Amino acid sequence: MRPQTPVPLTLEEHRELGNEMRAMNARMQELCKMVVSVYGPNNQAAFTFRKVAEATNRLCQDLQSQAAQDLPGYPTDGFYL
């Protein structure tokens, strides 16, 4: 049975997730640039890759905002971005 109130991530959990997400986001951006440069911007695979890269970046932004909510008063800048 799920609790009524969600339990936020801890400081350590945000740090660990942030490390993984920053690395994944950076790699996704690199791979996207490569695919676009090889196949061109009008290619379907390049288009989809750009969408995935944008979504990954947006997820990092959303997680950064969530960290600020979960850890009020703690400097969370840079956890995910």
Single out the residue of 50, 28, 54, 29 nearest to residue 39, CA to CA. 50
- What are residue 14's phi and psi, to 5 degrees? -65, -40
60 secondary structure, DSSP code: H
For 1-48, what is each residue's pLDDT tens digit? 566 788 999 999 999 999 999 999 999 999 999 999 999 999 999 999
**Hey, where are the domains in the chain?**
11-70
81 pLDDT higher than 70: yes
pLDDT attached to residue 6: 85
Residues 6+ apart with CB under 8 A from 36: 43, 46, 49, 50
